[in-house]
Structure 1
């Protein structure tokens, strides 16, 4: 079995790294530079979008952070991070909500794009304010996004909440702060952050 993470420590690759630490997989890390190796072969053959992260597991490529989280949960079942029957609906609902409406709404907000009323009917997320209200309700409903226990969906949803507050894309509402604190105290999260931070320090 081979497993390689292609990443940059100042990217969404931190999400994939966190998930890899959660499943306790053995993996190789390849650090890519935004202006050079990320935009050239051999990486373009792995991800033609020239973005990170990507993982290659037993010669199969997975890109997109939400997909990587879901894939690794299934590929490493002993970690018990895939949804159980009673968690499945919330697991997939909020995983894809974070990858779709939350990602789009916060990205537009960061770019200063504010859809008018007519445009809100055209785009999938409607308004930023509604997305944030719905996300707040979702993270407040249970200790974790799919219920009482931590799952792979929390890696992705949690990353959106943690980074959103860090970079000012999300308001620091009590539900977000409480949820983020619950996640950032996890040992795999701390290991992943330390690995990426050390890589950043070396590169600097």
Structure 2
């Protein structure tokens, strides 16, 4: 069987990939990387020319970008049951969370101001519209693509969980209720505990 390897840093979006790997339940190797020169060696840049984490390798296959990692692993290991019947909502919200929604949140956190007459140029329109769109989406069904948990909830849930934790999205009842349906999943709890332990070790190293 092709071996899975996760290249990550516990203070990164690699936490999304770790959660997803725990959901699929397959063994994987872990390579923890420091920011800076380690992510810009020729060997690592051959895997991820962006010089960032996470990167997942599956045998000779290389996957970067958290939404792609979630979608790939769900397809590669169908026995985990993480691809829902409603593929339309699944793909829609998986990539909305990783694309327009994250861009809107990061721009707001960095103080980037989009002039009203230029909102048609950015994928998210404006922050309030992006937030309202996702708020409506998580209010419709228990999970983002329907009645059961899917790989898209790993991406969407991570964005909402971090947003609530760090105050980068409004603390609205729909977001809080959605996150509470995800926060205690055993795979998420395991993944978070392992990454938190890495962070604690680094801070005492």
TM-score computed with the length of structure 2 as normaliser: 0.96
Which residue does 2:49 correspond to in 1?
Answer: 48
Mapped to 1, the partners of 2:145 and 2:199 lie a distance apart of 33
Mapped to 2, the partners of 1:167 and 1:109 lie a distance apart of 13
Which residue does 2:178 correspond to in 1?
Answer: 179
Mapped to 2, the partners of 1:114 and 1:168 lie a distance apart of 18
Deviation at 1:158, TM superposition (A): 0.6
Give me the CA root mean square deviation: 0.8
Instruction: Render the CA deviation track for 1:11-69: whole Å, top value 9, x for unaligned.
Output: 00000000000000100000000012112232111101011000000111000000000
Which residue does 1:194 correspond to in 2?
Answer: 193
Which residue does 2:100 correspond to in 1?
Answer: 101
SS at match of 1:83: coil
Deviation at 1:176, TM superposition (A): 0.4
Instruction: Render the CA deviation track for 1:55-91: whole Å, top value 9, x for unaligned.
Output: 000111000000000000001111000122xx11110
Instruction: Render the CA deviation track for 1:80-109: whole Å, top value 9, x for unaligned.
Output: 00122xx11110111111111101101100
Counterparts of residues 1-204 of structure 1 (less than 5 Å) = 1-84=2-85, 87-204=86-203
SS at match of 1:42: helix
C-alpha contact 2:84 2:148 (8 A) present in aligned 1:
no
In the alignment, structure 1 segments of 5+ residues that lack a partner are none
TM-score computed with the length of structure 1 as normaliser: 0.97
The runs of at least 4 consecutive aligned structure 1 residues that moved more than 3 Å come to: none
Mapped to 1, the partners of 2:99 and 2:192 lie a distance apart of 25
